[in-house]
Chain A
Amino acid sequence: MNAHGYDLSRRRFLQASALAGVAVGMGGITAACNAIGGGAVQGGTFNWMTWGDHYIDEQLKAIEASDKIVANISELAGNAEGFAKVKEVKGQLDMISGDALWVPDAYFAEGLIVPFDINELKVSQQLYPFARQFEIWTKPEGYLGYPFGWSPISIYYNAAEVSPAPDSWQVLLDPKYKGRIVVENQPEEIVAYMGKAAGFDDVYNMTDDQLATVKGLLEQLKPNVLRFAQQATDSVNAMISGEAWLITGNFGNEDRVKDGGGPEIKGYIPKEGTVGWMDAEMIVKDGANTSLLFPYLEKAEQAENIAANFIKHGRPLFSEKAYQVLVDQGEKDRADRYRWTESEAILSQTTLKGPGTSTAKSIQLFNEIFGA
């Protein structure tokens, strides 16, 4: 007899044990299904390192309320930083965002991410078909990331101050724009821009001779640069205030400057070609909470959310259905200004961002020119 006066016979004990065993076994099977992204999950928290424009707080709260899935977000400053971080912490992160060639050439090459069948995500059917088939992200093991946004780097200019209307990178070197240019604080990208200005194609893998040419252009660029923007909004603010007449940046700065009450600005893709990015959400290998990612993406990537993200953050995204949502919302002109439907053609003409063999030399070169 036990302490509660309950007579626990051997038969009842074995029956209870068997029931408990079945329950535990079923629980294990369910957990295993969830772990491979299949069944419903009970909710939880996953760790995501991403850029600030990949989510909207209200959408995260809605998903948390409806699905009990919480995104614990850490801010991603750049591709190299994110890559170094994942190498260091590995499975402490569950999802990370990355650009173009960083995805296959860094994350996948180092075995840091898990490829997956993108068609298992119903929401992926809302993407443009080509976005599910990017060659650089397609491996025999599966697709390397869930496509999100894209943009080439353009030059924007104050139409009242810059004339004649430029069409080339060379305008950044023109002495009459001394102290009137703001570029983002990304040394490797600035070196890449000058590589494009020199007419080089593979600007992340430049030879020493090519870098020597770029050095001369950086020397011409330096007196024209007023300052380095810490983030894209800094460049836009410099245009709005009139401090800058020329900035570099993603699609959409015309709207941002106009919305901020600034002057009329125009943008163009330089005739020598440009660099560009397209980013994706990657599943980190050995992440402890990756079972939450498919359910999260199914919700977060819905066209309505993507359309809202576009309105808030302003750069083109890969969702075909979101474009239709924007059309239905009367935002077709805005989406077309960002050339939403032209991603395939435009990206095919840009040099995609990725880890390069000339990274270290590019940074040394930048420091050499912009140091004292």
Chain B
Amino acid sequence: MTTRVVGGATLAPPTAASGGRISSLRRFAPFIPAGLILVGLFFVPLAVMLVFSFWSTGANLDVIPVWTLENYANFFENTTYVRTLFKTLVIGAGVTLVSLVGAFAVAYFLARYVSRRWARVALLIIIVPFWTSYLLRVYSWQAILGERGALNQVLMGLGLISEPSRLFVYNDIGTFIVLTYVYLPFAALVLYASLERFDFTQLTAAQDLGARPHQAFRHVLLPQIRPGLITAAIFVFIPILGEFLTPSMVGGAGGLLIANLVANFFKNALIPEGAAVGFMIAAFVLVLLIAFRRYLRVEDVYARG
């Protein structure tokens, strides 16, 4: 083995093993910025939150760095938190289902029957509401669904009800409607990206070979857009677990979700207590992502079909 002397330092020639390491490091180099962001903005805060969740709040709202399981014990002993988390999951699942169905109809129509140019215009229209603030959009729903709101005016105008109804606001129904409105476009965009690359002649071919339309749909289309469906479901379901603005504005006193209870802790500087409940939500999301990890191949959303 020969050695070189550079600036007084002795360098060994690269071996096959170290060359392989360098090569594999080079391969991962493009992911370093994203990796740093992921570590810095996700894993580190999550770790900090986890540590805080095992501490407690003292007098003058100081965080006392003494390890305790009290915050977690409180989460499970006080059944309110488990019940509210369960309710959040149910509403999240319901909104996800409705969003997927609605978004699928829109995306299918655009992908199959509308030219690509006009489909993009339609998609632009779908995302236009995102140009205004979330808060304003939810406020506007208060005006639509409220006792003196547009919906009640229409229903009364049609003679369907004789006096203003509170059926659609300040309860879980109101939360459901507004969350669907907020998250349906996310699902539509993902599903359109998936359907856009689907060759619809396959459906015709399947029917030519004797499949009924629903069979072609089920056995030809759905398997090919399944990654898109799963991704859309995750894009809708997971953010809903952290939703607190919509339920606090249109959910009423009885429509609070788990994130509202977390927010109550943080508003009062009860950081460890809030961190514990927050981490329970985060842990649930992690479990969910791990369970669905094999469907989370992002390239599939665009490549398949």
Contact = CB atoms under 8 A, between A and B. Distances in A.
Query: A and B, one complex?
Result: yes
Secondary structure of the B side of the interface?
helix
Given A83-B61, A241-B147, A368 B265 contact: no
A357 B254 contact: no
B204 interface: no
A369 B80 CA distance: 8
B273 A360 contact: yes
A360 B267 contact: no
A179 B147 CA distance: 12
A226 B59 contact: no
Contacts of A83: 61, 269
Contact of A228 (B81, B84, B86, B253): B253
Contacts of B248: 185, 228, 230
A109 B270 CA distance: 19
B256 A355 contact: no
Given A241-B146, A370-B253, A363 B83 contact: no
A368 B61 contact: no
A106 B267 contact: no
B285 interface: no
Contacts of A187: 264, 267-268
B140 interface: no
Interface in B195-252: 248-249, 251-252
A359 B270 contact: yes
A222 B147 contact: no
A230 B146 contact: no
B264 A243 contact: no
Contacts, number: 93
Chain B's interface size range is: 20 to 34
B74 interface: yes
A83 B251 CA distance: 29
B132 interface: no
A83, A355, A371: most-surrounded residue (chain B CB, <10 A): A371
A225 B255 CA distance: 11
A80 B62 CA distance: 11
Contact of A227 (B74, B80, B170, B270): B170
A45 B251 CA distance: 41
Contacts of B148: 241-243
Contact of A367 (B81, B249, B269): B81
Interface residues of A, number: 37
A262 to B, nearest CB: 12
B57 interface: yes
A84 B269 CA distance: 6
Interface in A90-117: 105-106, 109-110
Given A106-B60, A106-B61, A227-B253, A371 B268 contact: no
Nearest to B268: A80
A132 to B, nearest CB: 27
Given A84-B61, A106-B61, A371 B270 contact: no
Interface string A176-196: 000100000101100000000
B120 interface: no
A78 interface: yes
A364 B84 contact: no
Contact of A109 (B60, B83, B271): B60
A372 B83 contact: yes
Contacts of A223: 254
B268 A110 contact: no
A225 B252 CA distance: 8
Contacts of A58: none
Interface in A343-372: 355, 357, 359-360, 363-364, 366-372
Contacts of B170: 179, 226-227
Given A355-B61, A371-B83, A80 B249 contact: no
A77 interface: yes
Contacts of B261: 367, 371
29 contacts: A78-B268, A80-B61, A80-B269, A81-B269, A83-B61, A83-B269, A84-B61, A179-B170, A185-B248, A187-B268, A222-B254, A223-B254, A225-B252, A226-B253, A227-B170, A227-B249, A227-B252, A228-B248, A241-B148, A243-B146, A357-B59, A359-B61, A360-B268, A367-B261, A369-B80, A370-B253, A371-B81, A371-B261, A372-B256
Interface of A: 77-78, 80-81, 83-84, 105-106, 109-110, 179, 185, 187-188, 222-223, 225-228, 230, 241-243, 355, 357, 359-360, 363-364, 366-372
Interface of B: 57, 59-61, 74, 78, 80-81, 83-84, 86-87, 146-148, 166, 170, 248-249, 251-254, 256, 261, 264-265, 267-271, 273
Given A78-B268, A371-B84, 14 more contacts: A81-B267, A106-B61, A187-B267, A187-B268, A359-B268, A359-B270, A360-B57, A360-B273, A363-B264, A363-B268, A363-B270, A364-B78, A367-B78, A370-B256
